[in-house]
Structure 1
Amino acid sequence: MRTRATVLLLASVLALPTTPAPASAVPSPGAPQPVTRTADPATGSVLVISVDGLSPRALTQLGRAGAPHLHRFLRQGASTRNARTVVESTSTLPNHTSMVTGRRVDASTGGHGVTWNHTAQAEAETVHRAAGEHVDSLFTTLDAAGAESAVFVGKPKFRLWQRSWGRTIDRMTVRRDDARLARAVRRDLRRHRRELRFWHVATPDRAGHRAGFRSRRYLAAVEQVDAMLGRLLRTLRRPGLRGTVTVLLTSDHGAHAGRSHDDEATRGNQRVIFAALGPGVSRGADLYALNSDHRRAPGRSQPGYDAEVPPVRNAEVANLALDLLGLPAVADSEINAAQDLVLTSP
């Protein structure tokens, strides 16, 4: 039986007022169609955490003493340290947009079209204009089902999401201070009933760009994220929250060396963590072992979208979260569109 739970994904997202695309540029989606549940939800809420620039290598370097909460998260849940980004990019905005649409990047083959990663362009565009068609998302699907979502992000470029999907996101909080942002997430968990929260943590990426992704400053940033995760997990043990939330943890890209992660052909940039912790999730399980019939560990490669058996990708998040909530996949999505990624053994 497929596990369903509340998913938390730390991720990058921000909000800006929207400049509508010309009517001729993007086809109208027409009236939104109501979305109905395909199964009973196994949880009441999902928290997705995307840690910007989190390299699996950093966890090895820090060990359990340096990153106790991250290591405990992986030990107590279902996880892999060998998941992959989308094929076309190891940059922040393209990968995060795939995480909420379940689409590849390349618009000519059905992707969302967000190939750029700059705030200035993000503030002048919408996802629909980039794709040349209306693009549904995790947020529009939840809204059509009468469910609520909230986004907490540390970079202004993610205002693209609010420009694109507007009021279907019930709360959008953009703060450059990750410690304040973390407190806002914990407060929202205590005070509001929502089906989904998306939390983006920017600290490691900023440190890597400034000092290098193999620097002591970068590792210190990962230690800060570990402390934030520890406080979050304590909040989730409070009465009223205990046993109701499943956290999904991943990243938009890894980091190989130097101060850049732009080369999508470099394995260190492609390789990310994907982990889940929550009610019903198999304890200490390897995601590839749980999904051996339909996911295959990629070794040192980056399989294409046409791979007979794909790897686990960070962009599985959208349709996994919806599956856990008993909702169908995002319309016209591709990655995990069958919602066959499972988090528990049969």
Structure 2
Amino acid sequence: MNLKKESLVFMLLVFGSVLCCIGQEQAKPLANHVILIGSDGFGAYAFKKAKVPNLRKMMKNGSYTLEARSVLPSSSAVNWASMIMGSGPELHGYTEWGSKTPELPSKVIGDGNIYPTIFSLVHQQLPETKKGVSYSWGGIGYLFEKNMVDIDFNGKTDEETMQKAIEFILKEKPSLTFIHFDQPDGAGHNIGHDTPEYYKEVEKIDALIGKILSTLEENNLMENTVILFSSDHGGVGKGHGGKTLLEVEIPWIIYGKNISSKGKLESSVVTYDTAATIAYILGLKTPEFWRGKPILEAIKNAEH
């Protein structure tokens, strides 16, 4: 090959690399706002007995599975971490129900000095937008980058947590809000799962979700919003953390702009797919080290 041909090949390679990078540019978001609602200890089995009209409205008009799975162990911190970190405990390192720091060294440490969450992606790729966390269980506060959010609120009750989140959403129109409710986990531990008291708390959570939905609709925000509801685990007796389906199976319900109204999903969903799905909706590029994947079956006109 002579020098002229070598130069031409080099130019073609460079041009191809540029095209490749252009093809990897941030995608157009499918919605401007995503609200992730998590309810602690809300097992998928609760739908058999509890009256949850607001969640069923989301299921009817959106997409869902009641067979999504937690990671193991089926307990709190490990699963909340997985939900927003896009990976399981093997990579993020949080392995116990009350983990405040990784028991296993995180495979990757981001700018927030922890394994990168969905909030770090928003912070880096949508720097002009707002994002925040309103939570009832203090353990959530160890699992996201506090230096990258615009609200970090630990409510004393689920009602207070909801109200603070609504105020934030109405004022700031954030791209991402994570709302964590502590019930019905408390009832499950103190009285027992699959008890009248447990279902009473489940129904209270549904009422709070109804308040969020009505507020969004009244303020014309639902037109450009996606709501994703899930949980960290279920339970048996007064505990959880084991390997039964009652502990491992969790609800996964998604509803809103550009979300398919097909109802029940056939896809296998693991809790770390939640972060990847949120990233897809917001048009964010996900890091190679995440293991979650977007649930495209739930997205209108998505290529599977």
* Cα distance in 2 for residues equivalent to 1:231 and 1:166: 27
1:127-146 to structure 2, matched below 5 A, reads: 127=102, 130-131=105-106, 133-134=108-109, 135-145=115-125, 146=127
Once residues 45 and 201 of structure 1 are traced to their aligned partners in structure 2, the CA distance between those partners, rounded to angstroms, is: 20
Write out aligned runs for 1:55-70 (5 A). Answer: 55-62=43-50, 66-70=51-55
Corresponding residue for residue 71 of structure 1 = 56
Partner of 1:268: 246
From 293, 298, 303, the counterpart of 1:343 = 298
% same residue = 23
Counterpart residue type for residue 285 of structure 1 = G
The corresponding residue for 2:257 is 279
Q: CA deviation at 1:285?
A: 2.2
Which residues of structure 1 form unaligned runs of 5+? 1-35, 289-294, 296-310
Structure 1 residue matching 2:217: 3-state secondary structure: coil
Amino acid at match of 1:202: D
2:216 to 229, 232, 236: 236
Say how many residue pairs are matched. 271
| Matches for 1:327-342 after TM superposition, within 5 Å | 327-336=284-293, 339=294, 341-342=296-297
How far is the alpha carbon of 1:246 from its aligned partner?
Answer: 0.6
Query: In the alignment, is the contact (CA less than 8 A) between 1:37 and 1:326 conserved in 2?
Result: no
- Alignment counterpart, residue 95 of structure 1, candidates 79, 83, 86: 79
CA contact (8 A) 1:70 1:229 kept: yes
| One-letter amino acid of the counterpart of residue 76, structure 2 | T
Bigger Rg, structure 1 or 2? 2
State the SS of the aligned residue for 1:318: helix
Counterpart of 2:261, as a letter, is R
Native 8 Å contact 1:136 1:331 kept in 2: no
Uncovered stretches (5+) of structure 2, i.e. residues with no partner: 1-23, 110-114
Q: Secondary structure at the match of 1:103?
A: coil
Counterpart AA for 2:78: P
Q: Is the 8 A contact 1:93 1:158 kept in 2?
A: yes
Instruction: Specify the alignment match of 2:238 in structure 1.
Output: 259
* Greater helix fraction, Structure 1 or Structure 2: 2
Q: CA deviation at 1:222?
A: 0.4
> What corresponds to 2:131 in structure 1?
149
Partner of 1:173, secondary structure, is strand
- Cα distance change, pair 314–213 in 1 and its aligned pair in 2 (3 A): same
Query: What RMSD over aligned residues (CA atoms) do the two structures have, in Å?
Result: 1.9
Q: How does 1:1-346 map to 2 (within 5 A)?
A: 38-62=26-50, 66-86=51-71, 88-106=72-90, 111-118=91-98, 122=100, 125=101, 127=102, 130-131=105-106, 133-134=108-109, 135-145=115-125, 146=127, 147-162=129-144, 165-255=145-235, 257-263=236-242, 265-288=243-266, 295=267, 311-336=268-293, 339=294, 341-346=296-301
Stretch deviating more after TM superposition (220-229 or 127-136): 127-136
Contact 2:93 2:106 in 1 (8 A): yes
